[in-house]
Amino acid sequence: MKTKKVLIALDYDETSLKVADEGYLMANAMNAETILLHVISEQMVYYSGYSYMHTFHVEILNDLHKSTGAFLNKAKNHLGDESIKIVIKEGDVAETILKTAKDLNANIIVMGSHSRKWLENILLGSATEEVLKKTSIPLYIIPTKKISS
């Protein structure tokens, strides 16, 4: 019998704990392993001929890994389950989520969907939408749009 795995992709949005909660409830209902993932997205970096630029990039990346680890541990502590696995990857967000899900043999991917203005969607794209278009693994999308009072 296959081990069931639920991959929960989190970003730094304030609604990420809602996504973690919903994904964790699903994993528990399935008696599945829970994996929290954060992708450090590739950013355009302008390199000059100076060697310190590489060192600067590496220092920033190390800081990002530390803060991302702290962020995912905070979510893990919020869920109250020490068996939750934490994964930090670097790359294009959608492509990395898809590759990680495949590499870990995840049965379900859980993501949040933020409501963005049309211009932001055009300029930034939507990782959730891209994963939805390209995945062969079931995708559970948690709406995280804030409702104005």
Q: Which domain holds residue 88?
A: 5-143
Residue 98 φ/ψ, nearest 5 degrees: -65, -45
Specify the CATH number for the domain of residue 41: 3.40.50.620
Q: Give every residue of the chain whose pLDDT is below 70, as ranges.
A: 1-2, 42-58, 115-125, 145-149
pLDDT value at residue 115: 61
Question: Residue 110 forms beta bridges with which residues?
Answer: 8, 140
- Asked, for residue 65, whether it belongs to a domain, the answer is yes
- Asked, for residue 78, whether it belongs to a domain, the answer is yes
138: its two tokens: 């079931």
Number of independent structural domains in the chain: 1
- Asked, for residue 107, whether it belongs to a domain, the answer is yes
- Asked, for residue 36, whether it belongs to a domain, the answer is yes
- Asked, for residue 39, whether it belongs to a domain, the answer is yes
Classify 124 as helix, strand or coil: helix
86 closest CA partner among 98, 106, 100, 69 = 69
User: How many whole angstroms separate alpha carbon 92 and alpha carbon 9?
Assistant: 13
